């Protein structure tokens, strides 16, 4: 997809810090490492693209109920109206009503949380603190959370947040007051001169993050996309790419369903196979790394701080430019090379 003006700016550099802040890993090179968007503007732009392609947008109404009939689906909206269709796509986020209707939804055990604040700031201030490269900062396990804190400078906004990658019902995260963690993180950023000292902490917003994909993302006359299906990078929490990629795959499967006039669960199961073949293998491999968030040692980050190639690979995997499934052996070889190099140099 062309960017259609939806991308606000790019970050061309960044630092990753371990909890001790003893060292930092710098992204090598000058290439963009992240594309920044303003979420409202981005979502509005996507709606416009959909309308231009023939979609009808029904704003201000919410799906209340979905019923599968033998030859159609009936979707009831909060204004009392119904939409009759051959198929329904649940792209309604982490707490998907559609997924719930068909018993496919996430249970609370598989949910976590991210908190965020976005501040409008002048380009001059952003240039001073983050340079024209809009350097971003990531703090691993900040304040002991099983996740990270981030500082993402955009063109004229600063986005600061924390993500936790552990079920909130688990003790280590559940015991923490995340608003307090967020507030302390802001103080830490100010103390280290990463953000302006006069930045005010306003209303902190939070939202759910699915931790794993659902085991089943389809049923008769229904497909689930994006967060509704739990399709998210389980290490970084990024889900916009997977929401769009799964939407595209769903569109292809539905086109096939229309051609074959077949909307059965058996026919639609090819959706799950296709997203697994596409990005599902990456999600599965990344899920093995989520344990890192609760481990004490940060060997990987420490070694990456000593080796540009390892850093470049890890960043590529995190921002999606590199498939971990395709590059897993290369990554493992580089890790072992740097590990033993360090061991024998002692
Ligand atoms: C604080 C935070 C920061 C994040 N940062 C990043 C990031 O930097 N990069 C990244 O890639 N991902 C990020 N994510 C994850 C990302 O936001 C999601 O993965 C992504 O938005 C999923 O898109 P989606 O379309 O599946 O769901 P959503 O974006 O949640 O969209 C679902 C839509 O469905 C609508 N809806 C819900 N219920 C109903 C209903 N019953 N009827 C009608 N409409 C309904 C909602 O209003 C919403 O518009 C972040 C998440 C959080 C919580």
Is there an atom of ligand 1 within 6 Å of 239 CB?
Answer: yes
Confidence of residue 6 (pLDDT cuts 50, 70, 90): very high
Q: Which ligand 1 atom sits nearest the alpha carbon of residue 242?
A: 19
Q: Which ligand 1 atom sits nearest the alpha carbon of residue 210?
A: 19
| Ligand 1 pocket mutation, candidates 42, 227, 229, criterion most atoms within 8 A of CB | 227
- The three-state DSSP-derived secondary structure of the chain is CCCCCCCCEEECCEEEECCCCCCCEECCCCCCCEEECCHHHHHHHHHHHHHHCCCCCCCCCCEEEEEECCCCEEEEECCCCEEEECCEEECCCCCCHHHHHCCCCCCHHHEEEEEEEEEECCHHHHHHHHCCCCCEEEEECHHHCCEEEEEEECCCEEEEEEEECCCCCCHHHHCCCHHHHHHHHHHHHHHCCCCCCCCCCCCCEEEEEECCCCCCCEECCEEECHHHHCCCCCCCCCCHHHHHHHHHHHHHHHHHHHHHCCCCHHHHCHHHHHHHHHHHHHHHHHHHHHHHHHCCCCHHHHHHCCCHHHHHHHHHHHHCCCCHHHHHHHHHHHHHHHHHHHHHCC
Share of the chain above pLDDT 90, in %: 62
In the block, residue with structure tokens 């590199």: 322
Confidence of residue 1 (pLDDT cuts 50, 70, 90): low
In the chain the domains, ranked by start, together with CATH numbers, are 9-26+109-210 (3.30.9.10), 58-106+213-287 (3.50.50.60), 297-344 (no CATH)
Q: How much is the pLDDT for 22?
A: 84
Q: Is the pLDDT of residue 199 over 70?
A: yes
Question: Which is it for strands 111-120 and 157-164: parallel, antiparallel or unpaired?
Answer: antiparallel
**Structural contact between residues 143 and 185, judged by C-beta atoms closer than 8 angstroms:** yes
| Arithmetic mean of pLDDT over the chain | 89
Question: Which is it for strands 73-77 and 82-85: parallel, antiparallel or unpaired?
Answer: antiparallel
* Mean predicted confidence (pLDDT) in 184-194: 96
Q: Is the pLDDT of residue 209 over 60?
A: yes
Q: Is the pLDDT of residue 174 over 80?
A: no
- Using only C-alpha atoms, the chain has a radius of gyration, in whole angstroms, of 22
Confidence of residue 106 (pLDDT cuts 50, 70, 90): confident
**The pair of three-digit structure tokens given for residue 22, joined into one six-digit string:** 């003893």
Q: Which ligand 1 atom sits nearest the alpha carbon of residue 96?
A: 38
Is there an atom of ligand 1 within 6 Å of 98 CB?
Answer: no
Q: How much is the pLDDT for 197?
A: 95
Distance, CA of 84 to chain centre: 32
Q: Is the pLDDT of residue 297 over 70?
A: no
Q: Is the pLDDT of residue 119 over 80?
A: yes
Confidence of residue 4 (pLDDT cuts 50, 70, 90): low
Exposure of 324 by Cβ count < 10 A (0-12 exposed, 13-18 middle, 19+ buried)?
Answer: buried
Q: Alpha carbon of 334 to those of 162, 302, 328: distances in Å?
A: 29, 14, 10
- Select the more confidently predicted residue: 101 or 332: 101
pLDDT digits (tens, 9 = 90+) for 39-90: 999 999 999 999 999 999 999 999 999 999 999 999 999 999 999 999 999 9
Q: Determine which residue's CA is closest to atom 3 belonging to ligand 1.
A: 114
- Select the more confidently predicted residue: 1 or 205: 205
Q: How much is the pLDDT for 296?
A: 64
Q: Is the pLDDT of residue 173 over 60?
A: no
Instruction: Identify which of 30-39, 80-89, 285-294 has the greatest average pLDDT.
Output: 80-89
């Amino acid at each position: 997809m062309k960017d259609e003006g939806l991308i606000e700016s790019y970050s061309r550099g960044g630092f990753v810090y371990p909890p001790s802040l003893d060292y930092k890993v710098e992204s090598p090179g000058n290439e963009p490492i992240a594309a920044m968007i303003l979420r409202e503007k981005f979502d509005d732009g996507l709606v416009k693209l959909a309308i231009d392609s023939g979609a009808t947008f029904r704003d201000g109404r919410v799906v209340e109920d979905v019923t599968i009939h033998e030859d159609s689906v009936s979707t009831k909206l909060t204004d009392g109206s119904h939409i009759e269709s051959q198929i329904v796509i649940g792209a309604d986020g982490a707490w998907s009503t559609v997924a719930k209707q068909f018993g496919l939804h996430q249970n609370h055990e598989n949910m976590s949380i991210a908190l965020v604040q976005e501040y409008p700031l002048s380009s001059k201030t952003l240039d001073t603190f983050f340079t024209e490269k809009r350097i971003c900062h990531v703090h691993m396990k900040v304040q002991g959370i099983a996740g990270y804190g981030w500082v993402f400078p955009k063109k004229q906004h600063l986005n600061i947040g924390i993500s936790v990658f552990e079920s909130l019902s688990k003790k280590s995260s559940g015991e923490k007051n995340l608003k307090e963690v967020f507030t302390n993180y802001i103080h830490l950023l100010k103390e280290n001169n990463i953000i302006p000292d006069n930045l005010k902490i306003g209303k902190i917003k939070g939202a759910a993050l699915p931790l794993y994909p659902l085991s089943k993302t389809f049923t008769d006359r229904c497909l689930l996309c994006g967060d509704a299906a739990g399709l998210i990078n389980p290490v970084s929490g990024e889900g916009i790419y997977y929401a769009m990629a799964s939407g595209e795959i769903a569109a292809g499967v539905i086109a096939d369903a229309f051609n074959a006039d077949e909307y059965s669960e058996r026919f639609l199961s090819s959706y799950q196979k296709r997203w697994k073949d596409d990005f599902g293998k990456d999600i599965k491999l990344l899920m093995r790394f989520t344990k890192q968030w609760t481990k004490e040692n940060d060997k990987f980050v420490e070694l990456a701080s000593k080796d540009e190639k390892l850093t470049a690979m890890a960043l590529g995997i995190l921002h999606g430019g590199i498939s971990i499934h395709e590059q897993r052996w290369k990554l493992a070889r580089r890790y072992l090379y740097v590990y033993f190099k360090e061991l024998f140099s002692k």
